Amino acid sequence: MNMQLIDWVIVASLLALVTIMAASTKRFTRGVADFLAANRCAGRYLVSVSEGMAVLGAVTIVARFEAFYKAGFSIVWWGLIFTLAQVVLSLSGWVLYRYRQTRVLTLAQFFEVRYSKRFRIFAGLLAWVTGVINFGIFPAVGARFFMYFCGFSETTMLLGIGIPTYSLIMFVLLAFALFFVFVGGQIAVILTDFIQGLFCNIVFVIVIVFFLIAFDWSQITEALAMAPKEASMVNPFQTSQAEDFNIWFYLISAFGLFYHYMSWQGNQGYNASAKSAHEAKMGKVLGTWRSLPLTSFMFILAIGSYTLMHHPDFESLAQSARAILGGIEGKAIQDQVTTPVAMGQFLPAGLMGALCAVMLAAFISTHDTYLHSWGSIFIQDVVMPFRKKPFTSKQHLLLLRLSIVFVAVFIFIFSHVFRQTDYILMFFAITGAIFTGGAGSVIVGGLYWKRGTTAAAWGSMITGSTLAVSGVIVKQLPENCTINDAAPFAAMINKAIGFFQQTNGQVLAFVVMISSIVVYLLVSLLGKKQEYNMDRMLHRGKYAVNEDKSDSPALPVRGFKALIGINREFTRRDKILYITTAAWSLMWVGIFIVGTIYNLIFDVSTESWEKFWYFYIILSLVVGIVITIWFFIGGMHDIKDMFRTLREAKRNDLDDGMVIGHHNLADETKVADENK
């Protein structure tokens, strides 16, 4: 057992705090909109921190450990490609702003408003199936982390019966996640995720400090220098032999950020939880800052683990870690737990508990969010479209909870039977593409192009899902699997099987995206010409809803401000934050562009790169401290404001996601009442 008493006290304290906070939200969950979207009253800091924690997840941390351990600092450099993409996404409000204007509760509800009820049912079912399959390995990856990090034995005796510890950990943690969702729905999810997010930011800063104390910089650079020459973990321009996590991985990821932005519905409750479209946009702007301590934390721990496993000064600890890894069957699983096993060898008491608590928070925050999302999607987008009249509020909430329980049972079973053969991030890419591969075209086309047709939406979604499902199935087949040459089209089929097996999930996802875009454009342009009423869908002009209107002065915005996305909803503080965020991000974009050009012209020494990465770590520490304090203050204000709004808000029983004649039933009623 690696954990000591102080470690367990830290873990238990965090778990007790978030459990009490979740229970306190029960009295505020009085309607379907409360359960699904926190009654749309969350402020920017609350949304930013909570959503960041929700998408983090123990599985994401382990996946990033896996990637950073394999590629080192080089992956950080190419990851700056994301920065430019995120600047444009955050500052423009791409997709998010218009999505929030529609006032829908789920993505498939938008599909019915924009396309058709049949397409909503198909898309909702496809999103749900894709989501629970993708979600299926989350409990397994998280449970393995806790087993090997904490040093648990393979079997736990309970009432004289030997129970697999792996299964027991999954069951207990899923039970906590279920409790949070049951008592308060999205209100409990968003509140507990925020508390856990603040705790994690504090630990991230402490871990960076410990890293700088525990390892001498020369030890780190000497260990990283042991990597093959053309797979450098320090110089990103000496990575021609690096596999999987190279520049192409990040170029495809950056393209995917724009293409399927918000199409993944694992955290769909947050898409509708903000007080307004403007607050949703500002929450994304804040996300640029929120992610900095997290990224530094993940690559620092992975590199520290790599140093321990490869530097002669830590040989005795490395031998202990290798002995543990040697007892694990399967290279894919060994790669997943290498960093957790190594961390268990060098972290001191107290910090072990703090890191375990971080992973516990990451596990619960993602699981309660995903359980809430996938359980809700099944009821909202598969069951409800068949209804001719709404459920009562009590019936609706009961069905939502039962659906959530089913998802929990499914992923518990799936985690026991699925065979993992690829890196976690590659598994995410190809399984996610079953839905997002086609949904990206459908969302962007539906929100921004009045010529996009229902037939194009069907074609794009079917194309994307068919290609992605083929990739998932083929990757489960034994290596070098082929069919009998005598079978019809045998050569063609065997060639396709070979392509899918030899190509990683990221590249396959890119093929899916491009194919779906082509289908959407061709079907829309070649089909019957029709134009959709975008103003009505986006509640603009005479279709506006009063509670979504800004309180800011209605001053026109022109020139440069309008060009960079600043409109009349921006206060003075908003403008300062917006411009500062843009300047920070553009600084890194400039560093990336200039650095890339310089390295392509001149031969930059490894020593120069080592100095750059040391500066990067120190800067991350300073900025991380400032961000932790800043977001704590802003988040506390948002929590107070949310509870005040929930106490005073009048519930609308029709605000449950029901769509009548391509329009939200609740919004039609509201607009009619306001126009009287």
Rounded CA gap, 293 and 205, in Å? 7
- Among 313-327, 417-431, 656-670, name the most confident range: 313-327
Query: What pLDDT, on the 0 to 100 scale, is given for residue 563?
Result: 54
Q: Which residue has the higher pLDDT, 105 or 179?
A: 179
Widest pairwise Cα distance in the chain: 79
Residue 163: other Cβ atoms inside 10 A: 13
Which helix (H) or strand (E) covers residue 214, if one does?
A: helix 165-214
Give the pLDDT band (50/70/90) at residue 409: very high
Q: Is the pLDDT of residue 1 over 80?
A: no
Q: Which residue has the higher pLDDT, 59 or 452?
A: 452
pLDDT tens by residue, 326-372: 877 767 778 778 888 888 888 888 888 998 898 888 888 888 888 88
User: Of 62, 52, 140, which Cα lies nearest the Cα of 425?
Assistant: 62
Rounded CA gap, 39 and 36, in Å? 8
The average pLDDT across 607-621 equals 89
* % residues pLDDT > 70 (the chain): 85
Which helix (H) or strand (E) covers residue 290, if one does?
A: helix 277-310
Rounded CA gap, 576 and 282, in Å? 12
Q: Is the pLDDT of residue 73 over 90?
A: no
Q: Is the pLDDT of residue 296 over 50?
A: yes
Q: Is the pLDDT of residue 487 over 80?
A: no
Q: Which residue has the higher pLDDT, 560 or 239?
A: 239
The whole-chain average pLDDT of the chain stands at: 81
Q: 663 - beta bridge partners?
A: 660
The average pLDDT across 163-183 equals 88
376 neighbors 356 (Cβ within 8 angstroms): no
Q: Is the pLDDT of residue 309 over 70?
A: yes
Q: Is the pLDDT of residue 676 over 70?
A: no
Collect all residues with Cβ–Cβ distance below 8 Å to 211 and sequence separation of at least 6.
Answer: 300, 301, 304, 617
The average pLDDT across 440-466 equals 91
Q: Is the pLDDT of residue 425 over 70?
A: no
Query: What pLDDT, on the 0 to 100 scale, is given for residue 555?
Result: 41
Q: Is the pLDDT of residue 219 over 60?
A: yes
The average pLDDT across 7-29 equals 90
pLDDT tens by residue, 89-131: 766 778 878 887 888 877 878 888 899 888 988 888 888 888 8
The average pLDDT across 503-512 equals 76
The average pLDDT across 402-414 equals 92
- Three-class DSSP labels, 63-125: HHHHHHHHHCCHHHHHHCHHHHHHHHHHHHCCCHHHHHHHCCCCHHHHHHHHCCHHHHHHHHH
Query: What pLDDT, on the 0 to 100 scale, is given for residue 554?
Result: 40
Q: Is the pLDDT of residue 281 over 50?
A: yes
Query: What pLDDT, on the 0 to 100 scale, is given for residue 656?
Result: 59
Q: Is the pLDDT of residue 521 over 90?
A: yes
Give the pLDDT band (50/70/90) at residue 551: very low
DSSP, collapsed to helix, strand or coil, labels residue 162 as: strand
Query: What pLDDT, on the 0 to 100 scale, is given for residue 81?
Result: 77
The average pLDDT across 540-554 equals 61
Query: What pLDDT, on the 0 to 100 scale, is given for residue 553?
Result: 39
Give the pLDDT band (50/70/90) at residue 552: very low
Among 198-207, 269-278, 391-400, 600-609, the range scoring the smallest mean pLDDT is 269-278
Rounded CA gap, 95 and 83, in Å? 18
Q: Is the pLDDT of residue 49 over 50?
A: yes
Rounded CA gap, 446 and 50, in Å? 28
The owner of tokens 């396309």 is 115
Structural domain boundaries in the chain: 5-418+529-549+605-651
The owner of tokens 């068919």 is 466
Buried-exposed string 611-647: b where 16+ CB fall within 10 A, e elsewhere: ebbeebbeebbebbbebbeebbebbeebbeebbebbe
Domain covering 5-418+529-549+605-651 in this structure, CATH number:
1.20.1730
Q: What global pTM score does this model have? A: 0.73
Give the pLDDT band (50/70/90) at residue 36: confident
What are the CB-based long-range contacts (under 8 Å, 24+) for 322-328?
324/148, 328/148
Rounded CA gap, 62 and 340, in Å? 8
Query: What pLDDT, on the 0 to 100 scale, is given for residue 460?
Result: 93
DSSP string, 226-244: TS-GGG-SS-TTS-TT--S
Rounded CA gap, 294 and 292, in Å? 5
- Measured between its terminal Cα atoms, the distance across the chain in Å is 69
Phi-psi region of 274 (alpha: psi -120 to 50; beta: other; left: phi over 0): beta
Give the pLDDT band (50/70/90) at residue 407: very high
